[in-house]
Structure 1
């Protein structure tokens, strides 16, 4: 270092280069480069110069950097010609560009000579030593070389500035670090060196596979791999070329050899050994190789042990799924999940087992049901649930996330589609809705409606496996209506089931809104209105609970034939109608007697086992019951006349309902009790309170709400209910709604007042084909305009509407 300082001071040219003013005119090229070359030689051998550190090293680097700036930015005399004259002819620019190219070429030569004469010689000597000598020397020389390159990068950084590259053909001058890595890569191209390096690498790998793991050897292999991965070759990098590809080939040969040995035993032994190989080889890859090699190692093992041997595993897969052997299935899943091909094959086999078992058991059950004249659909649906439950155990063995739920559902879907005993397009959806109805009525659970295992209840299972869900979506609200208008429902169960069906994502939002509104009508809305009415009217002696239904969400109901309503009930209906108009002035309410029901208390004698019976009755039963409160026996013709109904059939039907349960007795002329139902008014026939009522059940249901499913199109009234679905795409529905509202506004502006039929006819004529509304959508649009006070309903009883100006 003292000699270096002496040479710099003694050289006036060099001193002027790093300490002179920026306006210096020209320099001599050779002295300046010799000074830079001397510093670079120290940099490349920095570990041999203990004084080259700290401030001294920094001073040398800064001086070399300054001299390089002079070499490439100031005119220099004595600049040698380029080694490639053709390049110089292609460059038509100042002399400084030529000087930059000369400096660049000398950097390349300097690094190449260093690697060939010093580093390469050390590697050749280390290759003759036992492993891991070459690997250790490679790591040491690589770290020294990288340190040198970082210092050279600073010294020649000005050379690669944008002004120095101005006028130079693109791509001709690479950065210092790229030059260094390229020269190192050229050194690795030596075949003898590659062979020696890989031999020592895989000798250590073989030691690790056949002996206990050694962390020192593992550290050496990881560092060598990291160093090789930094240097690129023609394809990727030298780590992939020299280490990863050969490692994967050796791993393939090893796994194939082990496969032949493992197949000599049974399949369970094969799975256990394969899992052991996966575990050991994955741990070895993590310990010895780069992070990027772990996934290729797993994939290569999977290709040999799983993908190529699926035919060997097929029979075992099917038998274990059918037998529900959880331990074996878990091991099988752990193995096949290592491969995408294997996991997909397992899913296919699982679905195949579901189809085979489901088709066999459901067809057999349907055949037995058909031969015994029992309900085929009920038996088939119960068997679907049974098959689903049977496959839950193997499905859980494949993971708790429900990964195989889709295959199970798809398999049952295929079974139902192909079953010759069922009609999936026209009947199956209705039968599932009926099954849901019966299930909810019969079980009456407290909070949740589900089986002991899993969160999927029977109804949701059947809904999900339906090939076509439109029929279920259409029919389910009908049965929901039947339950809600009786006492056979639990709000929590109904709400939970709708929520679970909605969570499947396989039903429309309109279905959810419709069912939720129906529940809200019979629950919160009706209870609130009933409580307000009772508080306002001061009811204490009458159990009066009116149910208010939203006409746009409930099915269509036609009233029963007109009949006399008991006076006290008729009075309360009128009072409630006035109350509703006060509470909801923008809404219109109409009484549908078909839906009304009540509970009669039938008191029995003291000698009876029970004190009384609760009888659920409809409107047609009430006048008959009121008359028997006054008199215990009536002549039939007089009784019908007292009811005051022109339709005697409804009165006879009510009497027959009472007589069926012994509440009333029918006596022919002569006092003989009539055993059959009354079909006509018989002369001399008398009706009295029954002497032997049916006391097996303390509650007798005479009135069941029957749903009218016929859609009314012609002459539809604005207050009628309609069962027509409009479960359509939300965007299309919005377009129809907006178009219908706009057409209604135009009609009101031109007519002023119009009936519902007139409005519907005009909207239908003026709307485009794809925007023609249904009656239900027409009512929704009209109700929207009424709620926004654009239109009002006339109170003159003409069922007309007027535009609010």
Structure 2
């Protein structure tokens, strides 16, 4: 009978004498050959049992002699040992001869035919090896185990022996041809042809099976697979994709190439599940990424600017995913992205910068946000919100927020304008702002605030505008105010918002105090005694927490309000002995009903400052009042008096004599009985631009003073803990401690150190060191 060109010998007789080594082996060899070559038909149970029995008898032939004396036991075992060894080596020689004939057949084939033959023979051979391992298990359990236990080399269980023989007699001389056939098959698939993938999977499994651990045959390694399959496979992969990518890029656009590279990477990933070991995934992907991405990274990066300029979001996302696969692949993209965002920010701000001092805070903040919103969305969608791209965006925004055309002459312009914008957002307006919209607007303020370097400037201007909103009752809502303070606290800490929160506490305390005053007044004075009082509310503001300037001019309040405020003063002094009230008349305001002119039947009401109130009440006694009389009665200085009258002249509440004259000595003013206005309530309490400018200048002065104190306190705090320090180190640590509030200049820090040396908080030591003086 023949199988694949190899002949199966006719069955020899079963040995009757178990000591007949030659006859026994001839019978066994016939059985093994049946298993090796005629596996499809196999052997029947009777034949299998006769083969198994022959092996058992053969291995125990010497042990059958039971009358051996005790001192001959060793020679008995040695005899059995020699028989087991003979059987093992005869089987080993048979496998060599068998594989020689298989090899002779294999070399007649090539390409897929060679693979088909190799896989068929491998499966037949290893299945037969499993049968033989079972057939020779008595040999495995006794002779093989004893040899292995004694540390003998090159002895294996019968199945492993089959693998060793294949590895030495077949694999060494065929693996190159097999791998060449595999690689040609894979190349066909990469070129779009359909292949029989199971063939490659079978080859992979055969290479893995041949990873025999020489020190422990029970264990296997991937050494053979890695050296003879994985290594050439990766080399061929690199060669294929290097050539393909170069040709494709020469003939197509970068964007088309990126799509192609994406597809190729996905295909290779899918192949791992189809016929590879999972272990190849990492090395295979790295090989593909090197050939498809790393070698062409400069070309891809050059295209990035074009994609940015044209808002090609999908293609940027594709480029990001590709370059993210290689080490440091994204660094140049982040650098270009940062520069691009910075340029975009500066260009956008240039468009609104032409307004100069008249620049609308909202227009400025909207310009800042426009660029940030656009590129924050891009980072999230195209760059998966990756932290390093977020950092690049933050760096760019910090640059264009703090160093742009608007900030050229005044480096603190950004925080000042942001504070003014926040003031406009939080002020009560004619069109009501929905709660969700308000929260959105406040979040936008905080977005810009995050990038502001001079946070102390924002704090100063914000606290001033907050104070005005609270004093004048112009806040859109207390909830919005507290929400904003909470956001600032989260961003910059408790100390940053401490005074802002105390201002709110004072407002609540003032409400409670007004209620207590009303009760006290009702309990202590009858209606007759209260009829001369005017309706008034009082705000008690803590000196240390409110950024309010003391009056800059003398002022005598009008007699009409003296009784009212004096009575409150008495109440307060009785309730809080030892406290002193300082009246801030320049911040007070009220309403006057103009009974001499009406809109229909309703008298006009003038909303006025207390200074304007004092002026207007003088017209109760006469329709015309001289400038000099007003100045004498109110004691207001010219800088305050003239604008106050000027507003009333502009509104045509008063007329000047001589006509068109400005407020000055010698001029007189007359009530305009022909006054007309489209509203019943007329607001005359308008801040003058010169006052606004002076206030801003004053705020900047206080900022400078506060910065000096902050730097000095930081220096003292550092030196108190360190005792001694090098001058340069002290400067560096001071910058670190206060950079969250503003960006200090080194010359300013050095001046503060000199001041502290003069005040003897510090002393100079040798080697440019400074010491702390307790």
TM-score range (shorter-chain normalised) is: 0.5 to 0.7
One of 600, 604, 617 as aligned partner of 2:591: 600
1:441-489 Cα deviation digits (max 9, x unpaired): 689544356899xx99654454344455554455443444344433155
Alignment partner, residue 308 of structure 2: 321
Q: Are residues 1:557 and 2:541 paired?
A: no
Q: Are residues 1:267 and 2:250 paired?
A: no
1:293-340 Cα deviation digits (max 9, x unpaired): 323333332222222223333453222221223444444444444445
CA drift of 1:513 comes to 2.6
Q: Are residues 1:279 and 2:262 paired?
A: no
Alignment partner, residue 575 of structure 1: 571
Q: Are residues 1:291 and 2:282 paired?
A: no
SS, match of residue 485 in structure 1:
helix
Contact 2:323 2:329 in 1 (8 A): yes
Contact 2:361 2:421 in 1 (8 A): no
Question: Per the alignment, do residues 417 and 564 of structure 1 end up closer, same or farther by CA in structure 2, a change over 3 Å counting?
Answer: closer
Measured in 1, the distance between the counterparts of 2:521 and 2:141 equals 97
Q: Are residues 1:192 and 2:184 paired?
A: no
CA drift of 1:600 comes to 0.9
One of 244, 249, 270 as aligned partner of 1:258: 244
CA drift of 1:141 comes to 5.0
SS, match of residue 589 in structure 2:
strand
Contact 1:271 1:332 in 2 (8 A): yes
Question: Per the alignment, do residues 177 and 319 of structure 1 end up closer, same or farther by CA in structure 2, a change over 3 Å counting?
Answer: farther
Contact 2:96 2:165 in 1 (8 A): no
Contact 1:354 1:408 in 2 (8 A): yes
Answer with 122-131 or 488-497: which moved more. Answer: 122-131
Alignment partner, residue 780 of structure 1: none
Alignment partner, residue 700 of structure 1: 683
Q: Are residues 1:477 and 2:458 paired?
A: no
Contact 1:450 1:456 in 2 (8 A): yes
Contact 2:204 2:225 in 1 (8 A): no
CA drift of 1:345 comes to 3.4
Measured in 2, the distance between the counterparts of 1:555 and 1:722 equals 16
Contact 1:518 1:553 in 2 (8 A): yes
Alignment partner, residue 521 of structure 1: 505
Question: Per the alignment, do residues 322 and 661 of structure 1 end up closer, same or farther by CA in structure 2, a change over 3 Å counting?
Answer: same
Question: Per the alignment, do residues 725 and 311 of structure 1 end up closer, same or farther by CA in structure 2, a change over 3 Å counting?
Answer: same
Measured in 2, the distance between the counterparts of 1:246 and 1:282 equals 18
Q: Are residues 1:436 and 2:421 paired?
A: yes
Contact 1:413 1:465 in 2 (8 A): yes
Q: Are residues 1:306 and 2:293 paired?
A: yes
Question: Per the alignment, do residues 519 and 674 of structure 1 end up closer, same or farther by CA in structure 2, a change over 3 Å counting?
Answer: same
Measured in 2, the distance between the counterparts of 1:619 and 1:361 equals 44
Alignment partner, residue 427 of structure 1: 412
Answer with 423-432 or 478-487: which moved more. Answer: 423-432
Measured in 2, the distance between the counterparts of 1:343 and 1:508 equals 32
SS, match of residue 600 in structure 1:
strand
Measured in 1, the distance between the counterparts of 2:673 and 2:594 equals 12
Measured in 2, the distance between the counterparts of 1:498 and 1:123 equals 86
Measured in 2, the distance between the counterparts of 1:50 and 1:552 equals 106
One of 237, 243, 252 as aligned partner of 2:229: 243
1:648-707 Cα deviation digits (max 9, x unpaired): 548835851652454752554xxx4564123x4x4x845547642655794525265957
Measured in 2, the distance between the counterparts of 1:606 and 1:489 equals 32
Measured in 1, the distance between the counterparts of 2:371 and 2:274 equals 47
Q: Are residues 1:131 and 2:120 paired?
A: no
- Superposition pairs of residues 66-465 of structure 1, within 5 angstroms: 130-131=114-115, 141=126, 191-192=172-173, 194-195=175-176, 198=179, 202=183, 205-206=186-187, 209=190, 210-212=192-194, 216=198, 220=202, 237-263=223-249, 264-359=251-346, 362=349, 383-389=367-373, 391=375, 394-395=378-379, 397-399=381-383, 401=385, 404-415=389-400, 422-423=407-408, 426-437=411-422, 439-440=424-425, 445-448=433-436, 459-465=445-451
Question: Which structure carries more helix by proportion?
Answer: 2
Answer with 284-293 or 492-501: which moved more. Answer: 492-501
Question: Per the alignment, do residues 710 and 379 of structure 1 end up closer, same or farther by CA in structure 2, a change over 3 Å counting?
Answer: closer
Measured in 2, the distance between the counterparts of 1:730 and 1:230 equals 71
Measured in 1, the distance between the counterparts of 2:564 and 2:655 equals 28
SS, match of residue 354 in structure 1:
helix
- Superposition pairs of residues 488-507 of structure 1, within 5 angstroms: 489-498=476-485
Measured in 2, the distance between the counterparts of 1:460 and 1:151 equals 83
The two structures have a TM-score, normalised by structure 2, of 0.60
User: What residue ranges of structure 2 are gaps of 5+ in the alignment?
Assistant: 1-17, 19-35, 37-41, 49-55, 57-71, 76-81, 107-113, 524-529, 722-755, 764-769
Question: Per the alignment, do residues 154 and 392 of structure 1 end up closer, same or farther by CA in structure 2, a change over 3 Å counting?
Answer: farther
1:705-724 Cα deviation digits (max 9, x unpaired): 957548899xx9xxxx9996
Alignment partner, residue 654 of structure 2: 665
Measured in 1, the distance between the counterparts of 2:90 and 2:685 equals 108
Superposition RMSD on alpha carbons, in Å?
6.4
CA drift of 1:517 comes to 1.1
CA drift of 1:192 comes to 3.1
Answer with 315-324 or 230-239: which moved more. Answer: 230-239
Measured in 2, the distance between the counterparts of 1:648 and 1:413 equals 45
Measured in 2, the distance between the counterparts of 1:533 and 1:49 equals 116
Contact 1:424 1:467 in 2 (8 A): no
SS, match of residue 265 in structure 2:
helix
1:387-411 Cα deviation digits (max 9, x unpaired): 4455456445415637644333323
Question: Per the alignment, do residues 607 and 450 of structure 1 end up closer, same or farther by CA in structure 2, a change over 3 Å counting?
Answer: closer
1:168-197 Cα deviation digits (max 9, x unpaired): xxxx999x999x999989986874365466
CA drift of 1:282 comes to 1.7
Measured in 1, the distance between the counterparts of 2:494 and 2:677 equals 44
Contact 1:657 1:702 in 2 (8 A): no
Question: Per the alignment, do residues 439 and 385 of structure 1 end up closer, same or farther by CA in structure 2, a change over 3 Å counting?
Answer: farther
Q: Are residues 1:652 and 2:641 paired?
A: yes
CA drift of 1:228 comes to 7.1
Question: Per the alignment, do residues 599 and 417 of structure 1 end up closer, same or farther by CA in structure 2, a change over 3 Å counting?
Answer: closer
SS, match of residue 435 in structure 2:
coil
Measured in 2, the distance between the counterparts of 1:481 and 1:432 equals 17
The two structures have a TM-score, normalised by structure 1, of 0.58
Measured in 2, the distance between the counterparts of 1:362 and 1:665 equals 44
SS, match of residue 563 in structure 1:
coil
